[in-house]
Amino acid sequence: MISRRKMLKALAGIPILGTLATTAQFSPPDTLNSKAVPNLFDELGIEPIINARGTMTYLSGSLMLPEVVQAIQSTSHDFANMYEVQDKVGERIAELLNAEAAMVTSGAAGALTLGTAACITGDDPEKIEMLPNLPGPQKEVIIPKEHRYVFDHAVRCAGVKLVEVDGPEEMEEAINENTVMALYFNGAASWFGLEEYSIPHEQFVAIGKKHGVPTFNDAAADVTPVENLFKYQEMGFDLVTFSGGKMLRGPQSAGILLGRKDLIEAAKLNFNPHESPIGRSMKVNKEEIFAMLVALESYLEKDHEKEWQEWIDRTVEITRIVERVPTVEGETHIHDGPANHFPGLKVRWDQTRVKISPTELAEQLRTGSPRIEVGGNDEELNIAVVTLKPEQVSVVGERIREVLQGAV
Ligand SMILES: *Cc1c(COP(=O)(O)O)cnc(C)c1O
């Protein structure tokens, strides 16, 4: 019998220990309890949803690409210095997007708050500590009147007052010593059906530059096309944000803030891992920071033409199925953008012959089996195909056909 001590001694001489040490960083810190891999949807009675509505936050945004999930996995096994992770990932993102600097934030909404905070505080630790309650007159952010939207709360929560302006002259007049930033909602045209903006992009940027007021473009939902990832910093906006969890298919809780180096550095000072700033409650974990980068790389490498054609094909396939019901017509529709610029499908029918409204049909899909979410109003059904998995395309078509057929 070999004694325990002798055995330990013997083991110490075996190089396997060295091997273990070098591979440790690639292996999980704990062994997986096989009982811990249940189907959590089932267990909690949450039925998965077929998302034919789009990259909506209430539907969990988008599905992360496999390589994104893999990045979350592979970076979860070791500790890292979060300042370093943010800096290095940010540098890589900036390189990829021809930006001066970049960082990963908690979604585009987090980027709006941090970007605003950066414009207010710069690198002043006292201001960072006091935000959102700075002494003295309230800081102001200029916004074109027609750009006011739900997400401007993410700017207001940094303690600023929004000053609405109508046209370039009003913008110039509104700028004063309390003005810290000017906010542009890139997708306002898409959201509000505007023909044009009261202040065109270039002019907005030029006025900002003339008066030394940083301009921030919220382009959260504005890929595709891929060119938009480069367009606005090139145009001269000092800050630009994109959601990570929409068409980039990164983590739903991540986003990208890019722009001027001094502002990105100031935004980082207002963020995790610092413990006291306004951005402390907007934490993004290291796995998601890495995963955001991987999602971006994948997106940039993707064959966008091929993907676009696949989306068109999906609309054609659903059309072919639903048009088997009398009077039903499908129309492939490409949203003008800049927000959500990709193909979708509109379906209409003669409601005196197929006696169901699109709203009622959407409700039946929502509460039926499988659960399907589509958009709709009194006139038409709006079907997003970009968030479908390939095998769900015909399922959606058949379900819609079934409900329509039942109403004939
Ligand atoms: C989705 C969206 C946001 C919020 O983005 P998150 O990444 O979900 O935080 C902000 N602004 C606009 C215009 C958006 O479409």
For residue 296, is it left (φ>0), alpha (ψ between -120 and 50) or beta? alpha
Q: Tell me how far the alpha carbon of residue 351 lies from the centroid of ligand 1, in angstroms.
A: 35
pLDDT at 25: 55
Q: Tell me how far the alpha carbon of residue 43 lies from the centroid of ligand 1, in angstroms.
A: 31
Work out the average pLDDT over 181-203: 93
pLDDT at 335: 85
Q: Tell me how far the alpha carbon of residue 243 lies from the centroid of ligand 1, in angstroms.
A: 6
Q: How would residue 341 be classed by pLDDT, with cut points 50, 70 and 90?
A: confident
The answer to whether residue 371 scores a pLDDT higher than 70 is yes
Q: How would residue 33 be classed by pLDDT, with cut points 50, 70 and 90?
A: low
Question: What pTM was estimated for this model as a whole?
Answer: 0.91
The reply to whether ligand 1 has any atom less than 6 angstroms from the CB of 57 is: yes
pLDDT at 338: 84
The reply to whether ligand 1 has any atom less than 6 angstroms from the CB of 243 is: yes
Q: List pLDDT tens digits, range 185-195.
A: 999 988 898 88
Q: How would residue 34 be classed by pLDDT, with cut points 50, 70 and 90?
A: low
The answer to whether residue 332 scores a pLDDT higher than 60 is yes
Q: List pLDDT tens digits, range 270-288.
A: 999 999 999 999 999 999 9
Q: How would residue 20 be classed by pLDDT, with cut points 50, 70 and 90?
A: very low
In the chain, what percentage of residues exceed pLDDT 70? 91
Q: Where are the alpha helices (DSSP H) in 33-81?
A: 40-43, 66-74
Work out the average pLDDT over 79-100: 98
The reply to whether ligand 1 has any atom less than 6 angstroms from the CB of 248 is: no
pLDDT at 1: 45
Tokens of 66: 């496999």
Candidate from 155, 157, 218 with most ligand 1 atoms within 8 A of CB, to mutate? 218
The reply to whether ligand 1 has any atom less than 6 angstroms from the CB of 254 is: no
Instruction: Name the fold adopted by 79-301.
Output: Aspartate Aminotransferase; domain 2 (3.40.640)
**Cis link prior to 225 (omega < 30° from 0)?**
yes
Cα–Cα distance measured from residue 239 to residue 99, given in angstroms and rounded to the nearest whole number: 10
pLDDT at 19: 44
How many Cα atoms sit within 13 Å of 346 on the Cβ side? 10
Cα–Cα distance measured from residue 62 to residue 246, given in angstroms and rounded to the nearest whole number: 6
Please name the residues in contact with 268: beta carbons below 8 A apart, sequence gap of 6 or more: 86, 87, 90, 103
Cα–Cα distance measured from residue 219 to residue 242, given in angstroms and rounded to the nearest whole number: 6
Q: Tell me how far the alpha carbon of residue 37 lies from the centroid of ligand 1, in angstroms.
A: 32
Average pLDDT for the chain: 93
pLDDT at 12: 47
Going from N- to C-terminal start, the domains of the chain cover 79-301, 304-406
Of the candidates 153, 146, 65, the residue with the CA atom closest to the CA atom of residue 108: 153
Q: List pLDDT tens digits, range 293-327.
A: 999 999 999 999 999 999 999 999 999 999 999 99
Residue bearing tokens 């907005």? 204
Lowest mean pLDDT among 16-20, 27-31, 74-78, 230-234: 16-20
The answer to whether residue 17 scores a pLDDT higher than 50 is no
Residue bearing tokens 């015909």? 394
Query: What is the CATH number assigned to the segment(s) 304-406?
Result: 3.90.1150.110
Q: Which atom of ligand 1 is nearest to the CA of 61?
A: 8
Work out the average pLDDT over 89-100: 98
Q: How would residue 265 be classed by pLDDT, with cut points 50, 70 and 90?
A: very high
Backbone angles phi, psi at 331, to 5 degrees: -135, 120
Candidate from 151, 186, 257 with most ligand 1 atoms within 8 A of CB, to mutate? 151
